[in-house]
Chain A
Amino acid sequence: MHYTLSTATKTSLASAPEVQDQILGSLEMLFGTPQNPSYLRTKDWADAEFDPNHAELAADAGGTGELAESEMNGVKADNLVRFRSQLEQVARRDYAGLAEFKSAPHLSDRVAAIVADKELAEDKRQADLKALFENYYPSLRDSTELYRQQCLHCHGVEGGGDGPTAGSVEHPFLDPRPRDYRLGKFKFTAVKDKARPRRQDLYRVLDQGVYGTAMPSFRRFSAAERWGLVDYVRMLAIRGEVEHDLVITFQDDEHLTAEAPLAAFQDVWTKWQAAKEKVVVFEGEVPAPTPAMLKRGDELFHDAKKGNCASCHGDMGLGDGPAAYKLDDQGHRVPAYTDDWGNPILPRNLVQGLYRGGRRPIDVYRRIYAGINGGPMPGIGESKDADGKLVLPPEDMWALVHYVRSLSERDEAVAGGPIHGMTPPGEGGGGGN
Chain B
Amino acid sequence: MRILLTLLFLALLVLGVWTFMDAHNHAWWLPPNVSSYGGDIDRLFYLILWMVGFFFVLTEGLLVWCVFNFGRKRTTKADFTHGHHKLELVWTAVPGLLLLVITFTQMQTWAKVKFKSNFPDVKPTCEVWASQFDWRMRYPGEDGKFGTVDDIENPFEFVVPVNEPILFNLRSRDVIHSFFVPYLRLKQDAMPGMVIPVWFQVEKEGSYDLVCAELCGWGHYKMAGRLKVVSRAAYDAWLKKSKEEMNSNGSEDKS
A and B touch in the complex (CB under 8 A): yes
List chain A positions with a Cβ less than 8 A from chain B: 81, 150, 165, 190, 198, 200, 207-209, 211, 214, 216-217, 219-220, 276-277, 279-286, 289, 359-362, 365-366, 402, 405-406, 408-409, 412, 415-416, 418-420, 422-433
18 A-B residue contacts at CB 8 Å?
A198-B255, A209-B155, A211-B136, A211-B153, A214-B133, A219-B156, A220-B224, A280-B250, A282-B250, A289-B149, A360-B247, A416-B146, A426-B124, A428-B124, A429-B123, A429-B124, A431-B167, A432-B164
What's the count of A-B pairs with C-beta under 8 Å?
A: 157
Q: Given A211-B134, A429-B144, A431-B125, are A424 and B195 neighbors across the interface (CB < 8 Å)?
A: yes
Query: In the complex, what's the smallest C-beta–C-beta distance from A80 to chain B, in angstroms?
Result: 13
- Measured between alpha carbons, how far is A361 from B20 in the docked complex, in Å? 55
Within the complex, which residue of A362, A405, A425 is in contact with B149, where a contact is CB–CB below 8 Å? A405
A276, A422, A425: residue with the most chain B Cβ atoms closer than 10 Å: A425
B residues engaging A (CB < 8 A)? 116, 119, 122-127, 129, 131-134, 136, 139-140, 144-149, 153, 155-157, 160-161, 164-167, 169, 171, 193-195, 197, 207, 218-219, 222-224, 226, 232, 235-236, 239, 245-251, 253-255
Q: A277-B255, A426-B124, A429-B140 are in contact. Are A362 and B249 (CB under 8 A)?
A: yes
Contact B155 A433 (CB under 8 A): no
On whether the beta carbons of B255 and A432 are closer than 8 Å, the reply is no
**Cβ contact of B218, chosen from A150, A165, A207, A418, cutoff 8 A:** A165
| Interchain CB contact under 8 A, B123 and A361 | no
**In the complex, are the beta carbons of A361 and B134 less than 8 A apart?**
no
Flag if B222 contacts A150 (CB, 8 Å). yes
**B245 in contact with A415 (CB, 8 Å):** no
Chain B residues within 8 Å of A281, by CB: 249-251, 253-254
Chain A residue contacts of B167, Cβ below 8 A? 425-426, 431
Q: With A424-B169, A427-B144 as given contacts, are A284 and B255 in contact (CB-CB < 8 Å)?
A: no
**A397 smallest CB distance to B (angstroms):** 12
| Complex alpha-carbon distance, A211 and B135, angstroms | 10
Smallest CB–CB gap between A232 and chain B, Å?
18
Set of chain A residues within 8 Å of B145, measured between Cβ atoms: 427-428
Q: Are A190 and B253 in contact (CB under 8 A)?
A: yes
The answer to whether B249 and A433 touch across the interface, beta carbons within 8 angstroms, is no
Closest to B143 in A: A428
Q: A282-B251, A427-B146, A429-B124 are in contact. List 4 more A-B contacts (CB 8 A).
A: A150-B222, A190-B250, A220-B224, A428-B126
A426-B254 Cα distance, complex, nearest whole Å: 41
Q: Is the CB of B149 within 8 A of A409?
A: yes
Q: Tell whether, in the assembled complex, residue A216 and residue B197 are in contact, meaning their CB atoms are under 8 Å apart.
A: no
In Å, the complex CA distance between A429 and B122 comes to 8
Cβ of A406 and Cβ of B123 under 8 Å apart? no
Contact at A431–B147, with CB atoms within 8 Å? no
* List of B residues within 8 angstroms of A431 by Cβ: 122-126, 160-161, 164, 166-167, 235
Q: Which residue of A lies closest to B207 (CB)?
A: A81
Cβ of A211 and Cβ of B255 under 8 Å apart? no
Contact of B147 among A208, A277, A412 (CB under 8 A): A412
Give complex CA distance A428, B141 in Å.
9
Q: Give the residue name and chain of the A residue nearest to B147 (CB).
A: A415
Establish whether residues A279 and B255, one from each chain, have CB atoms under 8 Å apart when the complex forms. yes
A290 to chain B, nearest CB (A): 13
Check A285–B249 contact: CB distance below 8 A: yes
Least CB separation from A431: chain B residue: B125
Q: How close is A173's CB to chain B, nearest CB, in angstroms?
A: 9
Q: Which 7 A-B pairs give the minimum distances between C-beta atoms? A: A428-B140, A429-B123, A431-B125, A415-B147, A217-B155, A432-B164, A219-B156
Complex interface: chain B residues within 8 A of A422 (CB): 194-195
Cβ–Cβ < 8 Å partners of A408 in chain B: 149
Q: Which residue of B lies closest to A220 (CB)?
A: B224
Residues of chain B within 8 A of A433, CB atoms compared:
122-123
B171: nearest chain-A partner, CB-CB: A416
Determine which residue in B122, B160, B169, B253 has the highest number of CB atoms from chain A within 10 A of its CB, and name it. Answer: B253
In the complex, what residues of A have CB within 8 A of residue B255's CB? 198, 276-277, 279
Docked-complex contact B134 and A209, CB < 8 angstroms: yes
Output the nearest chain B residue to A164 by Cβ-Cβ distance.
B218
